[in-house]
Chains A and B, each alone.
Chain A
Amino acid sequence: MLINEELIVIPVQQKTKEGVIEELAEVAFSVGRIADKAKYVAAVLKREEEYSTAVGFHVAIPHGKTDAVTEPFLMYGRVDKVDWKALDGEPVDHVFMIGVPEKEAGSTHLQILAKLSRRLMKEEFRSELTQATDAQAIIDVLKKNELL
């Protein structure tokens, strides 16, 4: 499974982009999805430098492709108006973080990203997401929208 309840953090404590990535990476490390937290965080931040991963609608999708990842994963974190240097200048409330092993080059993580982005265009999906208050509810929303 790409995502499970252990990979959902509501709410995230940190208030900065770097802090949020760090906190979520810690969780991924604790459940064994990444072997080297520092390396993964560095890969994610490098991506952020190239293009901001804030996709609009108060959502960011940071991601890292590195051999520090042992098993592909998707995480969800509920944050509180974090400045993600978004193009639209709006703060971010939802963070989906992706990790993919280096070997899995291809476009697996791009497909996760694209599917997620597509759902995010729909007002209905976004309000369901906002209304979900715990990990189980988030899983239900993702299932309902064929993201699992």
Chain B
Amino acid sequence: MIGVSVFKGVGIGKAFNYEIESIIIPKEMIEENEMDVTLDNLNIAIGNQKTSLEAHMKHVEETIGTSESQIFSAHIEILNDPELISRIRKNIVGKKMNLVAAIDEAKNFYVEMLSALEDHYIRERARDIEDVMEGLLKNILGLSDNPLDNIREATILFAKDLSPSETIHLNDWVKGIVLSEGSITSHSAIVAKAKGIPTIVGYKEAQIPDGKSLILDTVATKLLIDPTESELETYKEKVKEEALHQKRLRQLVKVEAITKDHRHIELFGNVGSAEEALSIVDHGGFGVGLLRTELVYMNSKDWPTEDEQYKTYEGIAKNVNGEVIIRTLDIGGDKTLPYFTFPKEENPFLGLRAIRFCHKNKEIFKTQLRAILKLSAAYPVKIMFPMIGSLEELLEARKCLDEAKESLKAENQAYNEDIPVGIMIEIPSAVFAIDLLSDHVDFVSIGTNDLCQYTLAVDRLNPEVAYLYDAFNISIIRMIDHVVQGCKPKRVKVGICGEMASDVEAAQILVGLGVDELSVSPSMIPYVKEVIINSNYEDLKVDAQRIIKR
């Protein structure tokens, strides 16, 4: 294991270490009489940058896909951000900074502010701002040429991280990417995946000198240095096979996930943004199994209003042709908000998070419930409460929902009276109260990430004990089985929205246990779909029972 695979495949080429260039900004003070020219130059530079991003966007749209091109539309939005622009202008007018110093200061201010937050989505946004602002600075300073453009032989590219614009520029000579930083949800990873370049993130091994002959195998996550002739032959064959496999997967986009013996599995995607929702459709998914609404709160400067939430959720709902399961605010734990002071807790994961937070802050909760209810008038929306640990918590949440409905009714606002209601099963106590809980819900979705963490008493982000984190643990499998058995007689549908579902082997076990719906990262949809289509439900059932009774 040399890292985490983002896109599985094999790449053969020579090593090339790409150093992300930190540009030195020639900072100066400007004179009073230079101010107008500087402000004009700012407008011109932003205009030019937008034009070039629009060209990027078009290029990506034509060559890769609409959802990936949205990354660049988000970049254009950054250049339209009134606060950012106003900060740059204030730097010029108030602090007499020259153009590049003014932009650099604003860039550093926002990047530092966002990077301080724990949420990785927000940190990604910081990376986007950095990317856009550095592009702007490079254009002004005449430094737009990039060594990546000059790659002219089969190459395995090594870098700390790549920005979306760097990734998009990679030509066909780049056969593999190895990043020492970056996460599987980073934009560079999304683009690399969409371009179909085998990619590894979190590479921590020794640096390989430029020009070394390499085979990167991201399926087995290994790197062969100076491979022998016979190894090369074997892998060239694999490259060919993988290309054919990808072609077959692409043909499955419109196909439903039905086993050979006709068991239909709902295959959905986990998303947090409209662009990811598009990605579900691109990858052949049929709905949203988990909409992480906390991102709306984390990206906001204050509690998002009902209208703001409505707009964001609608943006997601209209991008998919299918149902959307909206999880209510799951904040607390490792996720905090810049505009709210959370209590200092010894064990935040065992503290005031998710539904517990909402029950303590009813107005915030109701604002969200109203936004979701309003959306239910026009879209097939379901509502899901996270971190339910007892029947009382569920009934209290339902009561809040009823009150939200009443308030909309009083205002003559449209909503779906029968909006399906579900809960996340992620606390062990909920597993063993499933017989009680299932009387009051239409569906449940098992959040395997937290369920594993709480059941096995393992913090999976803690490298000291991460080896104990195992979604295939017999206890977890038995718990999932218990939930399915508790829900089946009541016709309550059971879904899985943890990372476990994205693993093709685990997906087979889950289907065998009788799960009705799998919600995975959009890019994993084709792989999971493929194993479902090629399986027999009856066989999977036998296999699953064998695991349980071991």
Binding site for A on B (CB under 8 A): 19, 21-29, 34, 37, 41, 98-100, 140-143
**Cα of A47 to Cα of B100 in the assembled complex, Å:** 15
B27, B34, B99 pick with most chain A CB within 10 angstroms: B27
A-B contact pairs, 15 of them (CB 8 A): A50-B27, A55-B24, A56-B24, A63-B26, A106-B41, A107-B41, A107-B100, A107-B141, A110-B26, A110-B28, A110-B100, A114-B24, A114-B26, A118-B24, A121-B22
Other A-B contacts than A106-B41, A111-B141, A114-B141, 7 sampled, CB-CB below 8 A, are A106-B37, A110-B141, A113-B26, A114-B23, A115-B143, A118-B23, A118-B24
Q: Does A105 contact B (CB under 8 A)?
A: yes
**Cα of A118 to Cα of B143 in the assembled complex, Å:** 8
Contact with B along A89-106 (1 / 0, CB 8 A): 000000000000000011
Q: Known contacts being A105-B37, A117-B23, is A111 close to B142, with CB within 8 Å?
A: yes
**Cα of A19 to Cα of B19 in the assembled complex, Å:** 37
Chain B hits for A115, CB < 8 A = 141-143
Chain B hits for A114, CB < 8 A = 23-26, 141-143
**Cα of A47 to Cα of B26 in the assembled complex, Å:** 11
**Cα of A56 to Cα of B28 in the assembled complex, Å:** 17
**Cα of A106 to Cα of B29 in the assembled complex, Å:** 14
| Distance to closest chain A CB from B291 (angstroms) | 43
**Cα of A109 to Cα of B19 in the assembled complex, Å:** 25
The 8 A-B pairs of least Cβ separation, nearest first, read A117-B24, A114-B141, A113-B26, A111-B142, A50-B29, A51-B27, A110-B26, A55-B24
B26, B99, B140 pick with most chain A CB within 10 angstroms: B26
Whether the Cβ atoms of B28 and A47 lie closer than 8 Å is yes
Contact with B along A71-101 (1 / 0, CB 8 A): 0000000000000000000000000000000
**Cα of A115 to Cα of B23 in the assembled complex, Å:** 9
| Distance to closest chain A CB from B158 (angstroms) | 17
Chain A hits for B21, CB < 8 A = 118, 121
Q: How large is the interface on A (under 10, 10 to 19, 20 to 34, 35 or more residues)?
A: 20 to 34
Binding site for B on A (CB under 8 A): 47, 50-51, 55-56, 61, 63, 105-107, 109-111, 113-115, 117-118, 120-121
| Distance to closest chain B CB from A36 (angstroms) | 18
**Cα of A109 to Cα of B30 in the assembled complex, Å:** 14
Whether the Cβ atoms of B34 and A51 lie closer than 8 Å is no
Chain A hits for B29, CB < 8 A = 50
**Cα of A114 to Cα of B28 in the assembled complex, Å:** 13
| Distance to closest chain B CB from A109 (angstroms) | 8
Which residue of the partner chain, among A56, A110, A111, contacts B98 with CB atoms under 8 Å? A110
**Cα of A106 to Cα of B28 in the assembled complex, Å:** 13
Chain B hits for A50, CB < 8 A = 27-29
**Cα of A105 to Cα of B99 in the assembled complex, Å:** 12
Q: In the complex, which residue of chain B has the Cβ closest to the Cβ of A53?
A: B26
Chain B hits for A109, CB < 8 A = 26
Chain B hits for A61, CB < 8 A = 26
Chain B hits for A56, CB < 8 A = 24
Chain A hits for B28, CB < 8 A = 47, 50-51, 110
Q: Known contacts being A114-B24, A117-B24, A121-B22, is A107 close to B99, with CB within 8 Å?
A: yes
Chain B hits for A47, CB < 8 A = 28
Whether the Cβ atoms of A110 and B140 lie closer than 8 Å is yes
**Cα of A120 to Cα of B21 in the assembled complex, Å:** 11
Whether the Cβ atoms of A107 and B140 lie closer than 8 Å is yes
| Distance to closest chain A CB from B338 (angstroms) | 30
**Cα of A121 to Cα of B22 in the assembled complex, Å:** 8
Q: In the complex, which residue of chain B has the Cβ closest to the Cβ of A65?
A: B28
**Cα of A128 to Cα of B307 in the assembled complex, Å:** 61
| Distance to closest chain A CB from B529 (angstroms) | 46
**Cα of A110 to Cα of B142 in the assembled complex, Å:** 9
Chain A hits for B142, CB < 8 A = 107, 111, 114-115
| Distance to closest chain B CB from A15 (angstroms) | 26
Which residue of the partner chain, among A55, A105, A111, A113, contacts B34 with CB atoms under 8 Å? A105
**Cα of A56 to Cα of B24 in the assembled complex, Å:** 10
Q: In the complex, which residue of chain A has the Cβ closest to the Cβ of B38?
A: A105
Whether the Cβ atoms of A117 and B34 lie closer than 8 Å is no
**Cα of A148 to Cα of B34 in the assembled complex, Å:** 28
**Cα of A110 to Cα of B27 in the assembled complex, Å:** 9
**Cα of A118 to Cα of B141 in the assembled complex, Å:** 11
| Distance to closest chain B CB from A85 (angstroms) | 15
**Cα of A106 to Cα of B41 in the assembled complex, Å:** 8
**Cα of A106 to Cα of B42 in the assembled complex, Å:** 11
Chain A hits for B100, CB < 8 A = 107, 110
Q: In the complex, which residue of chain A has the Cβ closest to the Cβ of B96?
A: A50
Chain B hits for A117, CB < 8 A = 23-24, 26
**Cα of A118 to Cα of B21 in the assembled complex, Å:** 8
| Distance to closest chain A CB from B133 (angstroms) | 15
B25, B37, B99 pick with most chain A CB within 10 angstroms: B25
Q: In the complex, which residue of chain A has the Cβ closest to the Cβ of B29?
A: A50
Chain A hits for B141, CB < 8 A = 107, 110-111, 113-115
Chain B hits for A111, CB < 8 A = 141-142
Q: In the complex, which residue of chain B has the Cβ closest to the Cβ of A56?
A: B24
Chain A hits for B22, CB < 8 A = 121
Chain A hits for B23, CB < 8 A = 114, 117-118
| Distance to closest chain A CB from B489 (angstroms) | 67
